[in-house]
Copies of this chain bind each other. A is one copy, B any other.
């Protein structure tokens, strides 16, 4: 893990599921030493799907790459003592905790500050009042399922991507770095709180959804159309599907050029009395534009269309299934420096992403696998707390730490 831009930083993570583990992994993949503490046997996310045929979680492996894994039974006092010592261990680059466990009891900021007064603790919680919520419940409550899909769909359409978790995880990384910068300048640590629901509400506000609703405008459900400009999906003659976008004027011109649509568009503008060089008018006329674009695209074979779109600088892409993406898109292969195929314990060789952040001055850290559960228990207790092998053996015999790995 040497050489990353965050080399030297140490973060203790007590977490499960997506947001907090992703926040920790974001730092780990930039070179920080991230030590995830779990109960012996694993946390609530240790078997989360997708899983392999023998029930190894691809999800867990994916979200805990490049971390160290320590198993401590923090349901017993001696285990809590150990965990608190790890969290409060000295070092100007240490003293950081990332958690989505309730900040109560031994995990309260007050208890932990008794170990280290300048501790930075970042707690991810469900809602701003500390009550619980998960990505799927937050998403239902913020309204997007009512505007996803077409009117012929089910009343509500859930998302598949846990977007709120992913955003929250990144924001946790930002929060820890901001707090660490402040501590370096002032010496002061603090408790940072971040609520999943607040992340979603802020996103709705930032994108204008809240102001729009306050003004009494109802966001329509527009299927696969892009809101506010022109974008839609089309099928080629051979059945291949493409997403076509004309957000900017340049993209709109490129699309007309590629499909030789200038005269039809001129006629459409006159007929509708709309200047389609304004993005909002392209949204108003989306069905009519889609009629023109679709009539052209369905006469063309995909390869031919792709060549023409690329030549003209059209903003577009092909719809692919996940299997197609993985099987045949060069961007999802080692041709893309993001990826390396690595050996993941319990899984085998898998194509694995590094951090998408490429720091040219450092080079890209190759992705590392997720640890085996408890793989680093002894090393970490020795290195961070100075425990010798006799003390560690005693802890293991008493069941305070996880068993040794075979």
Contact = CB atoms under 8 A, between A and B. Distances in A.
A171 B169 CA distance: 10
A246 to B, nearest CB: 11
A214 B354 CA distance: 17
A316 B137 contact: yes
A38 to B, nearest CB: 15
A163 B161 contact: yes
Nearest to A213: B326
Contacts of A139: 243
Interface string A316-339: 111111111111010110001111
B355 A202 contact: yes
A149 to B, nearest CB: 5
Interface stretch (A259-267, A345-353, A371-379, A380-388): A345-353
Please list the 3 inter-chain residue pairs (A to B) with the smallest Cβ-Cβ separation, ordered nearest first: A49-B228, A190-B361, A58-B208
A61 to B, nearest CB: 7
A297 interface: no
A34 interface: no
A211 interface: yes
Interface stretch (A68-76, A82-90, A175-183, A391-399): A175-183
A254 to B, nearest CB: 11
A177 B26 CA distance: 13
A189 B5 CA distance: 11
A270 interface: no
Given A167-B166, A180-B181, A191-B360, A247 B322 contact: no
Contact of A223 (B143, B154, B245): B154
A275 interface: no
A337 to B, nearest CB: 7
A147 B160 contact: yes
7 contacts: A22-B206, A49-B208, A50-B212, A61-B208, A109-B360, A158-B226, A214-B351
Nearest to A147: B160
Nearest to A216: B323
A330 to B, nearest CB: 10
Given A229-B49, A243-B136, A357-B178, A148 B159 contact: yes
B155 A148 contact: no
A114 interface: no
B52 A215 contact: yes
Contacts of A137: 243, 245, 315-317
Interface stretch (A94-102, A125-133, A287-295, A298-306): A125-133
Nearest to A205: B353
A155 B241 contact: yes
Contacts of A404: none
Contacts of A37: none
A401 to B, nearest CB: 24
A33 interface: no
B357 A49 contact: no
